[in-house]
Amino acid sequence: MNPSSMVVWRSWLLSETPQSRNQARLGRLYRGWLAFKTNRLAVVGLSLVLLLCLMALFADLLSPYSPINGGDLRTERLLGPSWEHPFGTDGQARDILSRILHGSRLTLLVVGLVAIITTPIGLLIGTASGFFGGWIDASLMRLTDIFLAFPRLILALAFVAALGPGIENAILAIAITSWPPYARLARAETLTIRDTDYLSAIRLQGASAFRIIWGHIVPICLPSVIVRVTLDMAGIILTAAGLGFLGLGAQPPLPEWGAMVADGRRFLIDQWWVPTVPGIAIFVVSLGFNLLGDGLRDVMDPKESE
Amino acid sequence: MTVDGTSTEEKLPSSTTLILFLRGTLGLFFSVLLTLLGLLLVTFLIGRVVPVDPVLAMVGDRASASVYEKARIELGLDRPLLEQFWIYLQKVLTGDFGTSVLTANKVIDDISRVFPATFELATFGILIGTLVGIPLGVMAAVRRGSLSDQFVRIFGLVGYSAPIFWLGLLSLLIFYAKLDWTAGPGRLDISYDYIVSPETGLLLLDSALQGEWEVFRNTFSHIILPASLLGYYSMAYISRMTRSLMLNELNQEYIVTARVKGLSESRIIWGHALRNAAVPLVTVIALSYANLLEGSVLTETVFAWPGLGQYLTNSLQNADMNAVLGSTIVVGVVFVGLNLFSDLLYRLLDPRVRFTR
């Protein structure tokens, strides 16, 4: 794109009198991006998250070795960092870099699935609770409070214990324990718009409750819930890694980072890189999500930020 | 009411406020009871969906159908689910969590044996977190935007982002294996075992009370790493909250008044602003204390700390469901209890929320 057309685009996006809904929407997004861009740490966070996505996408191309099958157990076990193996090899002569690269897929899978499962549950319970009020509100919020009052990791542990270890069950357990804040948030948002005129107008037109909630309330609650989910992603990653570390998440030989730390524990003293490198990966990714979430919150809700 | 006619007008408002206060507190207790009931329901349901057949676990898979059926009736599994839940409730409320398959002890006895270790660790941790976190938060708020503010922010972010088990391993590697500053995993070196008789179960306290200073030193050297680690995690949260609460207070008009009065800056910060921020801070500390219990599961695994967390993970790995659910209930009850405690304290300390519910 040449500079002059950039200017045209920019003025179109920042126009005070948008000609269409889409222009207004895009303009709002662009303004958000401009505000977001000034926060350097948030941009770092976004880059880290994008890096994770790229890693996951191109893991096959980037990895020099197989993440599952190791090399020669007699000569290639626990090698230190070198040109052939930038992060060394683990106890089964597998290249740690390749495992980290493939592990990014599992991390992304966990984060993505938990978000996909919990966001609709939270939205549904929260909006229904706020919209209908009365006993529905009371009982749904009581349920939410009960789940909110539990220690999350412990509850997830108990669920995994019941369902059996494995990455799918770990995802399910984390999802079951992490929807309540979204329900609370969605309810609060619903309450602020429940009595507005445009909703009354829609109701008078005879729209069903489902249609009102799905078509008119949910879209309004969605942005703040998405920000909240982003803010929670670091916590989700840490919980998943913790479950993996305890041997309850992804099972070997899957290259899940938490499980890799647990697997490398034995070599801590003499081959420190084996448990350390996957830990760094977890740390960097969750730092990225934390920074991104903070930045998003600042853009969406300047009041909260200091 | 034993109020004479003259003072009724003055007394009435205070008695209505008392009623309001009691009603609010009662509502709080009611919701806590409901939460606890929910906790038990969840653990009950988890106990029912376990893929392991409890009858099969008892009689073995070579038992005949009649033996199987008899055991099933003995366990009460033939009754309606609601009745089973009622029986379960009665058992749990009397402290009967069943028997651990792994240790062959009653789960409640196991838990009361390991709980003091976790309590000691978490308490030490929250002490560190509070004593370091509050000054850090105050400093960040007072010097807002400065380098030290940035430092506190980054310091906290690292705490939020690093997996605790990994930091634990790193700290073991550095402070124990490389530098040899602290003792390694475990609670006490074997050579010091059985010197101190367990009065309270808290080794630091027991050894100090019995004058065994060498044991005390050894215990301290063992606890300092895991406690600092847990403390660091709560510190991240406490310093962040202290900062925002302090910023809020420092913008108030009474601070300007205090400045005009000519009070020293340190008096204004510590005597006025922090004092007013202290009420919500109590809640923050209570909440992070509850979260420490959770963090202790992973920390105890890394440091081979013989507490509830390690007991829980050991039982998990051996599919010892009675022990798992028992520990879950205990942690849940403590968690809910701490929440209730912080709510009550908040109501008591802050007159503005005292009468609302």
Residues B230-275 have pLDDT tens digits of 999 899 889 988 988 888 888 888 888 888 888 888 888 888 888 8
Residues in chain B within 8 Å Cβ distance of A272: 173
pLDDT in tens, A36-65: 888 888 889 999 999 999 988 888 888 787
Q: Which of B295, B126, B185 lies closest to A157, judged by CA? A: B295
- Residue, of A188 and B50, whose pLDDT is higher: A188
Residues in chain A within 8 Å Cβ distance of B297: 153-154, 157, 242, 246
Whether A234 and B160 lie within 8 Å, measured CB to CB: yes
Overall size of chain A counted in residues: 306
Q: Is A155 on the interface with B (CB under 8 A)?
A: yes
Of residues B49, B316, B339, nearest to A149 (C-beta): B339
Whether B316 and A157 lie within 8 Å, measured CB to CB: yes
Whether A283 and B316 lie within 8 Å, measured CB to CB: no
Q: Which of B45, B42, B44 lies closest to B98, judged by CA? A: B44
Distance CA A68, CA A254 (A): 7
Tell me the pTM.
0.84
Report the chain B residue with the minimal C-alpha distance to residue A268: B173
Q: E-strand spans in A195-276? A: none
Residues in chain B within 8 Å Cβ distance of A103: none
Looking at the complex, report in whole angstroms how far the Cα of residue B204 sits from the nearest Cα belonging to chain A.
Answer: 27
Looking at the complex, report in whole angstroms how far the Cα of residue B191 sits from the nearest Cα belonging to chain A.
Answer: 23
Chain B contacts in chain A segment 105-124 (CB below 8 A): none
Of residues A150, A163, A246, nearest to B335 (C-beta): A150
3-state DSSP call for residue B106? strand
Residues in chain B within 8 Å Cβ distance of A286: 160-163
Whether A151 and B177 lie within 8 Å, measured CB to CB: no
Residues in chain A within 8 Å Cβ distance of B312: 154, 157
- Beta bridge mates, A95: A89
ipTM for this model: 0.82
Instruction: Retrieve residue B308's tokens.
Output: 């509830």
3-state helix, strand, coil in chain A (%, to 5): 75, 0, 25
Question: What is the C-alpha end-to-end distance of chain A, expressed in Å?
Answer: 37
Using CA atoms of A287, A293, A296, A302 in order, give the dihedral in degrees to the nearest 10: -100
**pLDDT at B2 exceeding the cut of 50:** no
Positive or negative torsion for Cα B53, B58, B59, B62: positive
- Residue, of B350 and A121, whose pLDDT is higher: A121
Q: Digits of tens for pLDDT over chain A (306 positions)?
A: 566 777 888 888 887 788 888 888 888 888 888 888 888 888 899 999 999 999 888 888 887 877 777 777 777 777 778 887 778 888 777 888 888 888 899 999 999 999 999 999 999 999 999 888 888 888 888 888 878 777 778 888 888 877 888 888 889 888 988 889 899 889 988 888 888 888 888 888 888 888 888 888 888 888 888 888 888 888 899 989 988 888 888 888 888 898 888 888 888 888 888 888 899 999 999 999 988 888 887 777 655 444
Whether A151 and B144 lie within 8 Å, measured CB to CB: no
- Residue, of B9 and B64, whose pLDDT is higher: B64
Using CA atoms of B265, B270, B275, B281 in order, give the dihedral in degrees to the nearest 10: 130
Residue B1 confidence (pLDDT): 39
Q: Which of A269, A268, A270, A289 lies closest to A278, judged by CA? A: A268
Between CA B258 and CA B267, with CA B262 as vertex, the angle to 5 degrees is 60
In the Cβ-directed half-sphere of A137, how many Cα atoms lie within 13 Å? 12
Helices A257-264 and A273-300: angle between axes, nearest 10 degrees: 150
Q: Is A142 on the interface with B (CB under 8 A)?
A: yes
3-state DSSP call for residue B200? coil
Residues in chain B within 8 Å Cβ distance of A241: 163, 165
Residues in chain A within 8 Å Cβ distance of B163: 238, 241-242, 245, 258, 261, 279, 282-283, 286
* Residue B95, φ and ψ in degrees, nearest 5: 80, 20
Of residues B173, B319, B324, nearest to A272 (C-beta): B173
Distance CA A38, CA B216 (A): 53
Instruction: Report in angstroms the alpha-carbon separations of A42 from A52, A115, A231, B148.
Output: 15, 20, 12, 20
Q: E-strand spans in chain A? A: none
Cβ(B59)–Cβ(B75) under 8 Å?
A: no
Instruction: Retrieve residue A77's tokens.
Output: 């076990």
Whether B312 and A145 lie within 8 Å, measured CB to CB: no
Give the burial class of A78: count Cβ atoms within 10 A of its Cβ; 0-12 exposed, 13-18 middle, 19 or more buried: middle
What type of residue is A241? A
Instruction: Retrieve residue A36's tokens.
Output: 């977001």
Residues in chain A within 8 Å Cβ distance of B321: 161-162
Cβ(B340)–Cβ(B28) under 8 Å?
A: yes
Residue A125 confidence (pLDDT): 92
Mean pLDDT to the nearest integer, B135-153: 87
Whether A154 and B42 lie within 8 Å, measured CB to CB: no
Query: Percent of chain B at pLDDT above 70?
Result: 90
* Residue A18, φ and ψ in degrees, nearest 5: -60, 140
